[in-house]
Amino acid sequence: MTDNHRVLVSASILNADFSRLDRVVHKMERSGADRLHLDVMDGHFVDNITFGPDVVAAFRRLTELPLDVHLMISQPARYMERFLEAEPETVTFHVEAEAAAERTTSAIEAIHAAGAEAGLAVSPDTPVDAVDPWLSELDLIMIMSVYPGWGGQGFIPETAPKIAQARAKLAAAGRGGLVHVDGGVSSKTAQIVGSHGIDVCVVGSALFKRGRDAADEVERVKELALLGFESNTAGAR
């Protein structure tokens, strides 16, 4: 059953040249990336600080690529409306970010009310089961394969089996949700995440390495992830 499986690339611009975001966006469009992944960090939930809703809105004006907003912020429910005003296709926040479960529920409801898709991200030390209370509402689960905060970190292989777990949960929920993997994904690690059935590879620094062709890297990530998927399915037959 490999025929229907697709692997998409969502390009994370975290390690791009922020002085020329228009150029970055157009380069990503030409590279064949399917989506843009925007990393929002608040210096509180994670140590790093990046940008807020106004910059997400600027990306919206620059491209028609679907925007995946990845909120690495405390109290995501509090800021949700402002991010939704920028009209992203998906908004993902961390299952660890709200102390009260009702706040997570209301943030997901706000995302859906705005016509966007909702995701929960799980950090490397968090079990995928943490998303269970919201499973029937989720359009995506994002498996963090690095500790959130910085681009260019090494892929943590122990997180890879969580991709298959998230995939099984979403399949059981029957909503057609997709699994994203974020952190250290490149042509070097694509086969591993593919073998666990990944749907969307978030690829950051690998697309912005000097001397490396972004289009070539996007193509290789997709090919190798599919190869991983197919060899795993073959093994299971």
Element at 118 (helix H, strand E): strand 117-122
Q: Which is nearer to ligand DX5, 39 or 98 (CB)?
A: 39
User: How far is Cα 18 from Cα 21, in angstroms, rounded to an integer?
Assistant: 5
Summarize as ranges the residues that interact with ligand DX5 (CB under 6 A): 12, 14-15, 37, 39, 70, 146, 148-153, 182-185, 202-206
- Binding site partner of 185, from ligand DX5, Zn ion, none, Cβ cut-off 5-8 A by kind: ligand DX5
- Count interface residues toward Zn ion (CB under 5 A): 3
Q: Tell which residue, 186, 220, 228, has the closest CA to residue 203.
A: 186
Contact flag: residue 137 with Zn ion (CB under 5 A): no
Cβ at position 132, least distance to Zn ion in Å? 22
User: How far is Cα 91 from Cα 115, in angstroms, rounded to an integer?
Assistant: 11
User: How far is Cα 207 from Cα 27, in angstroms, rounded to an integer?
Assistant: 10
39 catalytic residue (yes or no):
yes
In this structure, are residues 156 and 122 in contact, taking their beta carbons and an 8 Å threshold? no
3-state DSSP call for residue 61? helix
Cβ at position 39, least distance to ligand DX5 in Å? 5
Q: Which is nearer to ligand DX5, 12 or 195 (CB)?
A: 12
Q: Which is the catalytic residue, given 42, 139, 182, 199?
A: 182
Phi, then psi, of 74 in degrees rounded to 5: -75, 155
Contact flag: residue 68 with Zn ion (CB under 5 A): no
Burial class (CB in 10 A: 0-12, 13-18, 19+), 207: buried
Cβ at position 141, least distance to ligand DX5 in Å? 14
Site for Zn ion (CB under 5 A): which residue of 34, 117, 137, 182? 182
User: How far is Cα 33 from Cα 11, in angstroms, rounded to an integer?
Assistant: 6
- Binding site partner of 153, from Zn ion, ligand DX5, none, Cβ cut-off 5-8 A by kind: ligand DX5
Contact flag: residue 39 with Zn ion (CB under 5 A): yes
Cβ at position 208, least distance to ligand DX5 in Å? 8
- How many helices (H) and strands (E) in the chain? 7, 8
Cβ at position 16, least distance to ligand DX5 in Å? 10
Site for Zn ion (CB under 5 A): which residue of 27, 35, 60, 70? 70
Q: Which is the catalytic residue, given 34, 39, 42, 139?
A: 39
Query: Where do the H-state alpha helices sit in 42-134?
Result: 53-62, 76-84, 101-113
Binding site for Zn ion (CB under 5 A): 39, 70, 182
Which residues carry out catalysis? 39, 182
